[in-house]
Amino acid sequence: MRRTEFVEVVRRYYEGHRQELYTYALAVTRCRQAAEDVVHTVFCKLLARGRPPRDMGPYVFRSVRNAAIDELARRGNAKPAESVFETPAPKTDPALGLWAEEALESLGDDERETIVLKLYAGMTFKEIAAARRVSINTAASWYRRGLEKLRTAFEEDKP
């Protein structure tokens, strides 16, 4: 594959998944500036490879996670943590919107990241498992457990 073709492939992938990649980076770093830096760093390294990975999706999301963890270690936890959701919530009930924000933040890292990848990145459990290097069952159980916690919290604190 020639250099120009490779760059074009990467550029199209970024444009097609820009929101999902940024949301995932934000879910890990909890800081918008850090999330943008992470996405930029990941694509710098991807272009430096010179050739596309065998499986672009899981590779890129895995790289985003690794870079986000490194960035988090470098910067420390953002205070206050910034949400993956836009503020204010324009479409849904503001109280519900706020609840969703807080509820997602209360989950464990694995559960929150899996929900973000499944609901917002549109990944299948197989793709999530490949990105996180775990079994499909593990990814599915993280997702299911996260949703159960959200449901329980929703039932208890129904706004």
Partner 1 sequence: MKDIERLLEERGLAPPSADLDGRMAELFAEAQTTPRPRVFARRVPLWLAAAACMLFAFTGYWFHGIESEPVPDPGTRTTIYVVHTDGNSPQGAFDMTADDYIVLGQPDRPQVRILDLEHGTLENSRNRSATNGGVS
Residue in 62, 110, 120, 140 binding partner 1, rule: CB under 8 A: 120
Indicate whether 9 belongs to the interface with partner 1 (CB under 8 A). Answer: no
- The 61-100 contact track toward partner 1, x by CB under 8 A, reads ---------------------xxxxxx-xxxx---xx--x
Residues in region 38-57 near partner 1 by CB under 8 A: 39-40, 43-44, 47-50
Near partner 1 by CB under 8 A: residue from 53, 77, 108, 119: 119
Is residue 115 close enough to count as binding partner 1 by CB under 8 A?
Answer: yes
Token digits of residue 124 = 């299948």
Burial 78-109 (b: 16+ CB within 10 A, else e): beeebbbbeeeeeeeeeeebbbbeebbeebee
Handedness of CA 88, 92, 93, 97 (dihedral sign): negative
Q: How many whole angstroms separate alpha carbon 16 and alpha carbon 24?
A: 14
User: Least distance in Å: CB of 8 to partner 1?
Assistant: 8
Overall size of the chain counted in residues: 159
HEC-encoded secondary structure of 13-58: HHHHHHHHHHHHHHHHHCCHHHHHHHHHHHHHHHHHHCCCCCCHHH
Closest CB to partner 1 among residues 124, 133 = 124
Number of residues engaging partner 1 in binding (CB under 8 A) = 46
Query: Which residue is it, tokens 């959701």?
Result: 85
**Residue 147 in the binding site for partner 1 (CB under 8 A):** yes
Q: Which residues of the shown chain bind partner 1 in the complex (CB under 8 A)?
A: 3-4, 7, 10-11, 14, 18-19, 22-23, 26, 32, 35-36, 39-40, 43-44, 47-50, 82-87, 89-92, 96-97, 100-101, 104, 115, 119-120, 144, 147-148, 150-151, 154
